[in-house]
Structure 1
């Protein structure tokens, strides 16, 4: 098989990565270019980037690796959005555990990414920084060094600038925006319950804004000021509008066949370089479909 040499391009003016690739690779369709990004074949200054709207600056080097082993990047249920020597940012599907719960289940984002980094060098490691529930999809971050992990975990609020979630709830949320504040505590059955007064648990604050709504469903964006276990799920129950598919916290149905919760935006300061990054994903199509069904009736 003929090996195609990497293409190396210098950035001469500030622009988005997709526009840059379209200009220099004019024989490739947008789908071809998105495929290169999705499969981790584009690096900017030796850092893998998969966001098509990543902003390039003058002097940077963009490399296209035509021969990259795509099977490493096409990990079922996990897509790498960004990777450098210190961190990995990935988008995980609903149904994939973030980390092992102690059983023999190896279908976790952690194990998939661990295998990925070890494929490049058997001594490489990854470290847990935070978690998403198994049935929550979206963006999460792992550290690749103990130093990066320690910095992120010791001062999470310093480095994490914004976390936003797409939330599909049952019923019509009346207020278009609001803030929910309560104290959350887990009982022996591993159910988190909420109290408006200090119950010895952890204070939790969730801000929300309605994106669209009908009498049956509301799509809203929630942003976290704190990161407590099951925080958004419990706070939507407090709002009397449980998340679709969340039987544990009061949902009565599951028309989308999954939990209606997706970690859509992660904005942070890189713990080692100090550079700011913002990663966004699309609102899951299944969240939008319930509104299309309602219009057809």
Structure 2
């Protein structure tokens, strides 16, 4: 590449990198005729100074959720990034940046893609081949991170996409008012802070776990165990007891009335039964009289 051409290409790459740092520009640059193709050609050329700038611009574009599928569909881009990742003259920082882009574009549900990414990471010397994953803790824990500006919707979406694609992350939630991300993960807090700071360019810091509210629990326990009552509760209790006594008297009176009524009804039924018995006896007498000859009249 001629010196003049290299200077011109570098100028274009620098301009695209600067423009791609603005999230509002990222979907436009990815779809503008010639912009993405130019960045891909800069990576393909493997002129390291220019390729480094181009990869930084592509990393910015890949961080926008609306661009992921578009960039994945550019097979030339993926091939160029993989080749640059394994280039002999690429330093570790450049390889790490290239790997970060590939990591964002990979489909985590595709085992073949994940296996290929692991192999590329090992071949590039970014991770030693071991039987266990380095940087991951044996047991997950909750990491609380203060992320400056995460109340902005675009940044929140961007951070969420980055976090959920990070190895070892199990879940993530946000307290937008406090600009806090709560991440349940096996990944170390140091790795998350470094990764998110690099990928978003915003300040990220770890927060201490909120202290347990032991004092409040003790206070509640004391309230439950406290048998003394204020005077107004005693007065209220006395009033309730007085009302209960009045109700008991009313109930007793009603019960007595009910008993008297029951007795009257029982007596009435007995009287009706006696009347019916007398009527039956009278009918029997009439029947016998008719049989004995009364019926001749």
Q: Please, what TM-score do these two structures have when normalized by structure 2?
A: 0.25
Considering Cα pairs closer than 8 Å and 6+ residues apart, tell me whether 1 or 2 has the greater RCO.
1
Higher gyration radius (CA): 2
Give the TM-score normalised by the residue count of structure 1: 0.25
More helix by percentage: 2
Structure with greater strand share of residues: 1
